[in-house]
Structure 1
Amino acid sequence: MTLTDLKADIGRLKADLTGEVLTVEDTHFEGARAVWNAAVTEQPLLIVLPKNTRDVVKTVQFAQQHTLPLSVRGGGHDWAGRAITANGILINLRRMSQVEVNAGQKTALVQGGATGIEVSRATEKYKLVAVTPTLGEVGFTGWTLGGGYGPLSPSLGLGVDNVISAELVLADGTIRTASAQENPELFWAIRGGGGNFGVVTSLQVRLHEAKPLLSGMILFRESDAQVVLQKHNQLMATAPNELAVSAGMMFGPDGQPVVFLMPFWFGEQSVGKRYLEHMKQFAEPVQAQVGLMTYSDMLDFQSSFNQQGLHWVIQTRWLPSLEEDQIRILIQAVNQATSPRLFINMHHFHGAPTTVGENETPFPMRKPHYMVEIIAWEETKEAHNSQHYQQWASRVSEKLKNGAYPGGYANLLGPAETEQISQAYGQNLARLQQAKRTYDPGKVFNGIAIPSR
């Protein structure tokens, strides 16, 4: 079907919506289409920028009436490009990004297009915080629906653990509320099953009292990587819930590899300072910039390490621990790199989210572990030749496989990682597949992958 075939119907759709309908002829079509990973080049036929749930309903109905593929873009940060289906309709939710805080009940109603930093800035006015992504520009809803690791997770749980309810538009255009009381099976499915069941137009989430946050960056020489990562592993084995740390290896501004620790202390300052000082003593730091900051400032700081419009490749593994073999693989991976545009980041999972049963949500990995991100990118914005980067990331992932838990973080698994995807939901897979058949039998929505039977 072409735009010419749909011209009259598109005109009626435009007249029926409060929001905007874009075709390729519109000057800001590309801006509404673009996502964080410039390697994603699929072109939709139409882009709809709804302003309210009614607009979403009308768009879903239009897509169904014309048998057009449908996709949903929230923050636009999904590296695998699942937000865009070629020759279909893209629902871009960024104009639905309002965050309404109920300070008395310590809840927030977050529309589907809001980003993590928008949620944080809305809640900090009331001295409250939400569990958010580590990067401020990441879409809050998409991140939440896939699980939601974040700097406050050890203290307050995953993103999915803080969802109270959701509003969805299903494939037939009906609006459903999903909560523990209403449509409980749908509520179970969306908390880790991703955007596979409908357009999530809003989430109601728990908020928490804000506490002092100590964060920043500690860098060590690559020659100290073995000892630093060993000591980091020892620390995280008994780390309190107040302490989250992202750790890994990257290349510094001078092109030399470095080891980094990014601590996040959410609690009593005096205790946190002792932990951060202890981390500085793992070896002689090349740089140590840590201190008190607001949660929003921390998200902005983290976002400075990511740039939109480049070509990105990501692989992921769940590691039970950082043993000598795994540390050696990581060091070798960086030493053998032929480009400085490589990055390995590890989030340690412990504390509050481990108290949730593995069957309570589709997200099954509730044991302490490291979620490893193996990341590579190209600087060029004009041409895409990711083969070298993909091969490097795949080699590192394959070498880590023997010591890893099965599966991996579904939010980061690309469509080609079929083996990991098949194991990502553990014993929850059959129930999740049944929920998909119940709520989206026509497979209209395709978020993070759910294997078919």
Structure 2
Amino acid sequence: MTITPAQAATRELADFSGELIGPQDSAYAEARAVYNAMIDRRPALVARCADAADVTRTIGFARRHGLPLAVRGGGHHGAGLGTCDGGVVADLSPMNAVEVDAAARTVRVGGGATWGLVDAATHEHGLATPSGIISTTGVGGLALGGGLGHLTRRFGLTVDNLLAADVVLADGTQVRADADENTDLYWAIRGGGGNFGAVTAFTFRLHELATVVAGPTFWPAEQGAEVLAAYRDFIPSQPRDVNGFFMYATVPPAPPFPEELHLRKVCAVVWCHTHDDAEAAGRAMAPFLDAVPEPLLHAVAPMPHPALQSMFDGLYPPGDQWYWRADFVRDIPDEAVALHAKFGPEVPSMQSTMHLYPIDGAAHDHAASDTAFHYRDSRWASVYAGVDPDPANARLIKRWTVDYFEALHPFSAGGAYVNMMMDEGQERVRAGYRGNYARLARIKAALDPENVFRLNQNIEPDPAAGP
């Protein structure tokens, strides 16, 4: 009788502290599901790891049996790279402890935590660290790829605030990576994704931040060209306290939005002023608002930082269909503005959207070679996201996303933010790291020569990679 991987794991991993789940178990359907319902994979084993020792056991098991290994944190990845068909998923979600050291202004975070857990714990002390814009996002995936969000201009990328990480390597060794230990690994994980090991714990720098002045401003979608042209000039010239990302979207048919705006297609800026002074925030935004048409809605107000971070959670629950494309952008010439004005108002579903995230300010305090995240000379990251709950609309949202991306790609800096890429091939991965790819390939060869950690935006091991 053939023994399945799940049965073999039960026999071999008697000291496993977490939970081993196979296709025959009642918990399997839930355990294999990921955030993006367009991804439908059936792993042979889901190992819900309780601690770093479980992660080591899971990696060893996958290697002994020649099975593909995926590492899953929050499970948000657009391309579904936290799961696989017929292989092993090391699910870190039970490892979600968050420990704040308010005196040292640091937070230690388990590799399976979500940003909502981090935001809640740090907010109790009036502290925060940069993350994304949806609180259900996993810490591990976002942090390892770079980390863009509301606080980028003020405090930099998430990787700029990563002080240390506990990592399980491909051979099962547990190491610490920081500015003094395993420095090549520390450099590589700050933007290099999950290529170098399974991160079981992160330590981040914290900053004083409790209340922000934030919220969206909406204009009719047909005014997008005028608003975007003003936005591209305004944001880079502002103090670091002022952040705002530009978007095309559809107004959700729910509070707090007025009924007369429900399902209206709009362009918008989602603001975040990193002080609690509403009058100061108003003065900062005034020159921009004076330069554009009167908005349909200006819903900017003081709010707790976690409230801003979770603002989009209800709009994007798990289980929707997602298809992403992305690019880094240095400049937005008039030709690009016109193309955005064409494709943006054509969003094919209520949840589909385009975002332009600023990556200047504090993110430009680091050189391209300081971390694996290379695109320090860019000023925005663009993302085109087709989203819909109905699988019947998967082709529709994908077509809009690809068409929009292909029209704007000639105006890009060449590569994309790896956290917002689908499975797009090796050349796109190389472009995402540009001049840092060769060093990453050498570090990969030293730490993971067999490419055990390959279910990611993969950096292929190459000990002879050029400078």
- TM-score tier (shorter): over 0.9
Q: Which amino acid in structure 2 is aligned with residue 388 of structure 1?
A: L
Alignment of 1:265 with 2:273, yes or no, is yes
Query: How far is 1:257 from its partner?
Result: 1.9
Query: How far is 1:267 from its partner?
Result: 2.4
Task: Give the distance between the partners of 2:316 and 2:30, measured in 1 at CA.
Answer: 18
Query: Alpha carbons of 1:3 and 1:26: their partners in 2 closer, same or farther (altered >3 Å)?
Result: farther
**Residue pair 2:217, 2:270 contacting (<8 A) in 1 also:** yes
| Aligned twin of 2:370 | 360
| Aligned twin of 2:207 | 208
More displaced stretch, 167-176 vs 391-400: 391-400
| Aligned twin of 1:298 | 308
Task: Give the distance between the partners of 2:348 and 2:4, measured in 1 at CA.
Answer: 50
Task: Give the distance between the partners of 1:6 and 1:249, measured in 2 at CA.
Answer: 46
User: Number of residue pairs matched?
Assistant: 450
| Aligned twin of 2:445 | 437
| Aligned twin of 2:457 | 448
Alignment of 1:416 with 2:415, yes or no, is no
Pairing of 1:385-424 with structure 2 (within 5 A): 386-424=394-432
Match of 2:324 among 308, 311, 314: 314
Q: What do you get for the CA RMSD once the two structures are aligned?
A: 1.9
Query: Alpha carbons of 1:341 and 1:138: their partners in 2 closer, same or farther (altered >3 Å)?
Result: closer
Query: How far is 1:146 from its partner?
Result: 0.4
CA deviation string 1:230-250 (max 9, x = no partner): 221121120111111111111
**Residue pair 1:120, 1:132 contacting (<8 A) in 2 also:** no
More displaced stretch, 297-306 vs 410-419: 410-419
Query: How far is 1:121 from its partner?
Result: 0.6
Q: Which amino acid in structure 2 is aligned with residue 90 of structure 1?
A: V
Relative to the length of structure 2, the TM-score reads 0.92
Task: Give the distance between the partners of 1:264 and 1:13, measured in 2 at CA.
Answer: 51
Task: Give the distance between the partners of 2:34 and 2:62, measured in 1 at CA.
Answer: 22
Work out the percentage of aligned pairs sharing the same amino acid: 28
Task: Give the distance between the partners of 1:262 and 1:8, measured in 2 at CA.
Answer: 50
Match of 2:356 among 325, 346, 349: 346
Query: How far is 1:5 from its partner?
Result: 4.2
Unaligned runs of 5+ in 1: none
Pairing of 1:133-282 with structure 2 (within 5 A): 133-252=132-251, 253=253, 254-267=262-275, 269=277, 270-281=279-290, 282=292
CA deviation string 1:33-53 (max 9, x = no partner): 211100111111011111111
**Residue pair 1:49, 1:92 contacting (<8 A) in 2 also:** yes
| Aligned twin of 1:48 | 47
Pairing of 1:10-29 with structure 2 (within 5 A): 10-13=9-12, 15-29=14-28
More displaced stretch, 15-24 vs 280-289: 280-289
Query: Alpha carbons of 1:340 and 1:14: their partners in 2 closer, same or farther (altered >3 Å)?
Result: same
Q: Which amino acid in structure 2 is aligned with residue 271 of structure 1?
A: A
Query: Alpha carbons of 1:374 and 1:8: their partners in 2 closer, same or farther (altered >3 Å)?
Result: closer
Task: Give the distance between the partners of 2:162 and 2:2, measured in 1 at CA.
Answer: 39
CA deviation string 1:163-212 (max 9, x = no partner): 11111111111111111111111111111110111110001111111253
Unaligned runs of 5+ in 2: 254-261, 463-467
Query: How far is 1:283 from its partner?
Result: 1.7
| Aligned twin of 1:36 | 35
* DSSP-derived class of the 2:11 partner: helix
* DSSP-derived class of the 1:249 partner: strand
Query: How far is 1:284 from its partner?
Result: 1.4
